[in-house]
Structure 1
Amino acid sequence: MESIDRWLHRRHEEFVEGGEKQPVRGLVAASWDRSVAAGLHADTAAPFAFQGNELATYRAEHPLSAVFPMLYDVLGRAAVDSDCVMAVGDSGGRLLWVCGRPDVLRAADGIHFSEGAWWAERQVGTNALGTSLEVTAPVQIRSAEHFTVLVQPWSCAAAPIYDPDTQRVLGVVDITGGADASSPQSLALVRAAARMAEAELGRLTVLRKLNGDTGHRIRISALGRPDAELRVEDRDLRLSRRHSDIVVLLAEHPEGLTAEELSDALYGEADHRSSLRGEMTRLRALLGADVLDSRPYRFRRDIAADWLETADDLDSHLLSSALRRYAGPLLPQSDAPGVVASRNRLENRMRADVLRTHDVDLVVAWTRSYAGVNDLSAWEHQMALLSPTSPLWPSTQSEVRRLRADYGLSEHADRDLRRR
């Protein structure tokens, strides 16, 4: 723990960066003051703000989810090339997305700079992301300017993102890494990315208004969850297993389903229309009479759903965005025939695109996921893309050996791996 005397010396005098003494900038000194006033110490580590599926649900609803693919394309790829990570946080400093090369991400995990962590200034002290939110301006923090010792090997630059309508701060975009992150160009890059995000949010707002979308739509989250969660206006509803199946099937068929079609998709070939009518009565009472039609059964409002957005990303050849959205299989515990078919269709499309891509980062994202962890073909594809000097090579080779043995292919495995 850093003593107050030592901190006061740093605060009023100078700090050492790159072997040279540097004067303390006023921005940094003021941030150190706030950090001490918050009761933080030099060994403070960033806490985590979410549990379980909370993060996936929260960020799917966040306004910045609409512009994250653009931010990744504009800034994320540049961060990867510079051995940095790109992060997007909410207005409270909670990290919603963190992306970069796997080895750099692992290093960032060591300082808790990972998705779900809370990097507000009052939580972890002086850092570009948290301090930029505190002063509502672009900020660059170089190594020794960080308040906590753990973070001092890193440098970072961040800029807040504003709602173009209300001018409220929606969140923040950041790049964190080594020397590249401390260059003037890095600060200019994050500032430009934030402005581009605001312009895109403004464009999307205009489009919604032109299309008569007042925002009264229903959002469904059902990826990687045993049951669906709905947001209807200002209400959050967690549905029963059977009601979850129904809303997924109706979202898949915006044109509507007859009672017979919905019964078949829900229960199979046996006639359960009487049971279906009872379920629909209870669901309508839960959602509101103005949400569902009955002849045919369908939603009266526009639907936004995480698995449908993932499929849209695949249609648009945005595999990186699809992988970020894909929190797991669609209602993995459901046995409703229609849901099972949709679940398998989406997972098969994801897997096929992963096996076609030559972007090793995307393949690694898949093999680290629930769906891809035991996918032998994906692990073999990853091994084919990696250089034997890659730090991921030993673990990838080990996983290929394990899976080949599990599938009874061990006799060929050693020979094939030795050839490489």
Structure 2
Amino acid sequence: MAHPRIGPAPGDGADTRLSPHLLALVREATLAGRVPPQAPRRVIGESWRRALRSGVDPDTGLRNWMLGPEEIEHRRRSTPLGQLLPVLSDGLVPVADAAWHIMVVSDAEGRLLWRDGSVAVRRSADRIGFLEGASWSEEVVGTNAIGTALVTRAPLQVHSAEHFVRSHHGWTCAAAPLHDPRDGRLLGVVDVSGPAAGVHPAMLSLVSAVARVAEAELRMRHWEAVERLRSIAAPLLSRIRGQALAVDTNGWTAAVTGTTPTERVALPAEVRAGRVWLPQLGLCELEPLPGGWLVRVGEREPAPGSRVVLDVSGPSNWTVTVTGEAGSWTQRLSPRHSELLFVLAEHPAGRTAAQLAGDLFGDPGRAVTVRAELSRLRRNLAGVLAHRPYRFADGVEVEVVRPCDPASLLPHSVAPAVLAARRQGRGAGDGG
């Protein structure tokens, strides 16, 4: 199926001066493959393309399977978002209620877990399925502030007919992603939604600011937990001969003995007690501690990996798995590190820092930023990455697991190298 060509527009800030009627004309013409009276915002146009590729019905969306009460409660208990709810509610619910809006918090899959605000607006939201347990991912309901912010990982306001599904055109939504400051993991989104007629240009700024305050609260709690672990671990480490560290469940160092302190140790995605290979430290023995792990360092030199699998097939969760003589080890990747490793996999001969800066930012002058990111990556992937030029080390077999649809490759990314890979993939898929 040939999708309509949706062109970019300068600037992606929500222009609430455009009338709902004009936005509807833009959407109708664009989805029909005609030249619209005005190009949609770039972020909206790209989201419409993704919705079309996913087969979302522009009139009704897709079937929205609701979570049951037990699953909703399980997800609430399983995420740090619950710790942030008081901060989010204090900062947004009074404003939302006064403006005839509601506040909604979703998890990283776009499932709505909490909802508060105007009772009348909540009743209206029920009629379009905007209620706890529903999925508001792009794959289900197309362009909307929650689902699209999860893809772009940036704050976003979606107004009226910028929504992909027609029944959502009476709404305006402002959302901001929420990240776990301990590991950068995307936790979900906080959103304020209400009638399109009540849109306020400052709402997105408010939602973004409250989201940052909530993340700061989580960061403060994290360091308090590290301090508690330090008080427990320090006496224990003083009695250990050799090298050992106490780290929290995310690898942040609380105490150390016999070795150079390191801010954080990269732990496997699934940590368990026993013998494990850690890239920065080599073979280690892990023992559980209250709130973390005791890491006893064995062989100091890390065993190099012989095979790397870079999995960028998903829309938001990317991993690198290293396999060698010491076993297998998997780590989640940040958006930037997923881009860097993808580019290095695409260039086996290697890239200079300036070339990588051009690949990622379109600006070779940002080489210092690239070197800093690669320094972090090389600490976590010791023996796998080489430099001068930057590349995967000789003898390392590299496999990249891509999405089935080339256009869905790292959908958050605007890196020139990733954009080019998407275009090349589409051309190959069309026989080009």
Q: TM-score scaled to structure 2, two decimals? A: 0.46
* Structure (1 or 2) with the greater strand fraction: 2
* Structure (1 or 2) with the greater helix fraction: 1
Q: TM-score scaled to structure 1, two decimals? A: 0.47
Which structure has the larger Rg over C-alpha atoms? Answer: 1
